[in-house]
Amino acid sequence: MSKIIVLANQKGGIGKSSCTRELGIYLSSLGKQVCLVDTDPQANLTKSLIDNSSSGLFEALTGKEWVFEQINDKLNILPGSISCAGLERSLVAEIDCYTRIKDLLCDKSFEKFDYILIDSPPSLSVMTINALTASDYLLIPMKPSQYCMQGTNDLISTVSKVKKTLNPELKIAGVIINEFERNPVIVREITKEIEEAFGNCVFSTRISKAIAFEEVISTKQGIIERKNRSSEEIRLIGDELISRIENGLSYAV
């Protein structure tokens, strides 16, 4: 059975797509079959990994022909596109609007994957709720900033509603602190606030702020292909994720 993991946080620019890409590349480097699903109409995850795609999530959700784009023999992506913005608007009128991605992932073509990682848009939109409904686990990337901290209640309340109605099996696999910096006092203070609020839900490794995250976007490579602190941090987060899932750990927030 594939493990389906959504990375979600309605705050923009806090590392959802970067963490999805890096964890996907890392898990595939361990020999796991991984599929990335880009539900964000911005398609940043897609653009950071491939140049062009002939089809993607939009086609898959609208009954058209589609194929996975192969990044390597272990890593595939179901690309996102701007067309998903229009699709979100039209889906709202449909009775099954929140289960479209869940239904899609039941297709036999997804059976071969050990992990399916879903990137979501910076909103609590139809696509995000679809992604939460389709997933076994939620990973919440957070940046130690006031705005990110303030938005958490909305995310948690949406997750609670999804658990009560659409997906009672959804488990919280953890909170990842991204763009951590040791020096600014305010960053340390907000990091402490996040750790106090989420307790042992927070991954023990933090991802440091590093320019490498920006650099790898244009190279279409992963940070783990470099030898630096960021690649080590991603490996540790990936290992902790596997161990949390294998040990059946999940967190109430």
- Number of chain residues interacting with Mg ion (CB under 5 A): 3
Binding flag, residue 143, Mg ion (CB under 5 A): no
Among the listed residues 12, 86, 184, 199, the single contact to ligand ATP using CB under 6 A: 12
Q: SS3 helix, strand, coil % of the chain, rounded to 5?
A: 45, 15, 40
Q: By CB under 5 A, is residue 102 in contact with Mg ion? A: no
Q: Which stretch binds ligand ATP (CB under 6 A): 7-15, 50-58, 63-71, 88-96?
A: 7-15
Cα separation, 79 vs 69, in Å, equals 7
Instruction: Output 17 or 178, the one with its CB closest to Mg ion.
Output: 17
Vertex 150 angle, CA 147 and 152, to 5°: 115
Neighbours of 145 (CB within 10 A): 16
CB of 207 to ligand ATP, least distance (A): 5
Alpha helices in the chain (DSSP H): 16-29, 44-47, 57-61, 83-91, 100-105, 126-134, 146-150, 152-164, 185-198, 212-219, 229-246
Query: Can you tell me which of 3, 17, 27, 36 binds ligand ATP, judged by CB under 6 A?
Result: 17
Asked if 130 is part of the footprint of ligand ATP (rule: CB under 6 A), the reply reads: no
Query: Which part of the chain contacts ligand ATP (CB under 6 A), choosing from 85-93, 101-109, 166-174, 205-213?
Result: 205-213
Instruction: Please select the residue that binds ligand ATP; options are 46, 167, 178, 205, rule is CB under 6 A.
Output: 178
C-alpha pair distances (Å), 40 with each of 91, 119, 125, 187, 234: 15, 7, 10, 28, 22
- Give yes or no for residue 152 binding ligand ATP (CB under 6 A): no
Query: By CB under 5 A, is residue 16 in contact with Mg ion?
Result: yes
Q: 161 near 140, Cβ under 8 Å? A: no
What type of residue sits at position 150?
A: Q
For the record, the structure tokens of 249 come out as 């750990």
Which residues sit at the interface with ligand ATP, rule CB under 6 A? Answer: 12-18, 40, 42, 44, 122, 178-179, 207, 209-210, 213-214, 217
Q: Which residues bind Mg ion (CB under 5 A)?
A: 16-17, 44
